[in-house]
């Protein structure tokens, strides 16, 4: 089974993800990412490679970050330890400091016992699959073992947070004066920097989920648990609420009435605004196959084309880079604004969402109404052969359901990348119709693809 998943290496901390593994992974990263003309030029000039390292506040991040830093320094890499910061902050700082690469220790929206290691290349971009495969292979090979003055140093990146906050504030087209926001920081990496940044941008800020103790990250709070945020917004009479996940690369929102505004709706709002201001490259939005049919309809009405990718923000970013596009993301709240970021950035997204409210004078409910959300039902079918979704009987059932739904719905089958499981997704004008078709298709998949 491959070590790298869809977003780095992730697993139970001190179970699958041990200090030994973290150290060896860091050493292999130094071998693979320490190659190339830029790295060779640094060495020729008598300079060591540099890596930025950061983490979210879960307790296991302390020993895992120490192991990563030790692995890099023992390989001759100088480490800038940025401490607890969001993943997008790390990505920005790699580019800002012209570092050779960076490592984020975080399991994102997962519970506290889990952790993960995400590796970013020069410029703050996620690694392509082929480079991850090279790093995994290098874990069993020879390592770099300089001695004496050749070993790396580990130093505190003292102004890391200040650089990131200034970058965010400089990106804003409007101040947030007069807007009241409730921020849910998921007891995660945004707990310090997000309230500070929104307040500096002019907003009135009420904070929940910003007391990390190393064990409470994502525990009933954050972008995967929006009920408490919705209640807090209504109780405070705020204009909106914004929720991050544990490493703050996501942003979901709730309006003043406590209604959820998901990543698709946020992308719709930003895409329309950017098109009006001449900032939406090629009038194109990049989204995954899981984005709601309503997003496609809304974008068509505004003359905006939607390019689709596989699920995963890394695939969205790859397509954005290929086409030179300026906006893309996922329904889950990973939104990428390529002018300002190389990955999903929950703080950046939330700031620009509020800036659009300030610019237009519209409520979040009013802005979100640009897109009608179609009921979407997802049924997981376990215990099946995920490699045979092109089965004739399955495809006939999909075609029949699609024909019956017509323009008012959509069907999608997604085989899991790691499990014997197929996901059946159906969108329709009503939840009842979507559920009926999803259940029927799940039955066909279960029967035709049974192991």
Question: Residues with catalytic annotation?
Answer: 108
What's the rounded Cα separation, in Å, for the pair 90 and 82? 8
247 is in an annotated binding site: yes
391 is in an annotated binding site: no
- Angle separating helix axes 60-73 and 19-33, nearest 10 degrees: 40
| H, E, C per residue of the chain | CCCCECCEEEEEECCCECHHHHHHHHHHHHHHHCCCHHHHHHHHCCCCEEEEEEECCCCHHHHHHHHHHHHHHCCCEEEEEEEECCHHHHHHHHHHCCCCEEEEECCCCCCCCEEEEEEEECCCEECCHHHHHHHHHHCCCCCCCCCHHHCCCEEECCCHHHHHHHHHHHCCCCCCCCCEEEEECCCCCCCCHHHHHHHHCCCEEEEECCCCCCCCCCCCCCCCCCHHHHHHHHHHCCCEEEECCCCCCCCEEEECCCCEECHHHHHHHHHHHHHHCCCCHHHEEEEECCCCHHHHHHHHHCCCEEEEECCCHHHHHHHHHHHCCCEEECCCCCEEECCCCCCCCHHHHHHHHHHHHHHHCCCHHHHHCCCCCCCEEEEEEECECHHHCCCHHHHHHHHHHHHHHHHHCEEEEEECCCCCEEEEEEECCCHHHHHHHHHHHHHHHHHHCEC
213 is in an annotated binding site: no
Residue 6's CB: how many other CB atoms inside 10 A?
Answer: 13
Give the annotated binding-site residues for Mg(2+).
Answer: 108, 245, 247, 249
List, as residue ranges, the binding site: 108, 245, 247, 249
């Amino acid at each position: 089974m491959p070590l790298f998943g869809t977003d780095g290496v992730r697993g139970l901390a001190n179970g699958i993800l041990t200090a030994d593994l973290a150290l060896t992974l860091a050493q292999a990263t130094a071998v693979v990412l320490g190659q190339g003309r830029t790295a060779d030029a640094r060495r020729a000039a008598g300079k060591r490679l540099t890596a930025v390292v950061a983490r979210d506040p879960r307790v296991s991040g302390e020993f895992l970050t120490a192991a990563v830093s030790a692995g890099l320094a023992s390989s001759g890499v100088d480490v800038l330890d940025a401490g607890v910061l969001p993943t997008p902050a790390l990505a920005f700082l790699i580019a800002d400091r012209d570092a050779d690469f960076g490592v984020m220790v975080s399991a994102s929206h997962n519970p506290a016992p889990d952790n993960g290691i995400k590796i970013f290349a020069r410029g703050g971009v996620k690694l392509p699959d082929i480079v991850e495969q090279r790093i995994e292979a290098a874990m069993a090979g020879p390592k770099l073992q300089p001695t004496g003055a050749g070993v790396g140093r580990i130093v505190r990146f003292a102004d890391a947070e200040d650089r990131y906050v200034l970058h965010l504030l400089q990106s804003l087209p409007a101040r947030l004066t007069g807007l009241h926001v409730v921020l849910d920081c998921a007891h995660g990496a945004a707990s310090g920097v997000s309230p500070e940044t929104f307040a500096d941008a002019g907003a009135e800020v009420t904070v929940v989920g910003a007391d990390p103790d190393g064990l409470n990250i994502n525990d009933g709070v954050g972008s995967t648990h929006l009920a408490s945020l919705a209640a807090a917004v209504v109780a405070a009479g705020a204009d909106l609420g914004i929720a991050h996940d544990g490493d703050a690369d996501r942003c979901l929102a709730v309006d003043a009435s406590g209604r959820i505004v998901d990543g698709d709706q946020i992308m719709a709002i930003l895409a329309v605004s950017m098109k009006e201001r001449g900032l939406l490259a090629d009038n194109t939005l990049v989204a995954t196959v899981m984005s709601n049919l309503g997003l496609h309809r809304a974008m068509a009405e505004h003359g905006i084309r939607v390019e689709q990718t596989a699920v995963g923000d890394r695939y969205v970013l790859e397509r954005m880079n290929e086409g030179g596009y300026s906006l893309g993301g996922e329904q889950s709240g990973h939104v990428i604004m390529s002018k300002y970021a190389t990955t999903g950035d929950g703080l950046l997204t939330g700031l620009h969402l509020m800036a659009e409210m300030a610019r237009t004078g519209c409520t979040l409910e009013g802005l979100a109404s640009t897109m009608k959300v179609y009921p979407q039902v997802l049924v997981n079918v376990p215990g099946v052969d995920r490699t045979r979704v092109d089965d004739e009987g399955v495809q006939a059932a999909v075609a029949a359901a699609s024909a019956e739904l017509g323009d008012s719905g959509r069907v999608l089958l997604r085989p899991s990348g790691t499990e014997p499981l197929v996901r059946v997704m159906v969108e329709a004008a009503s939840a009842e119709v979507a559920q009926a078709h999803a259940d029927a298709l799940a039955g066909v998949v279960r029967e035709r693809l049974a192991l």
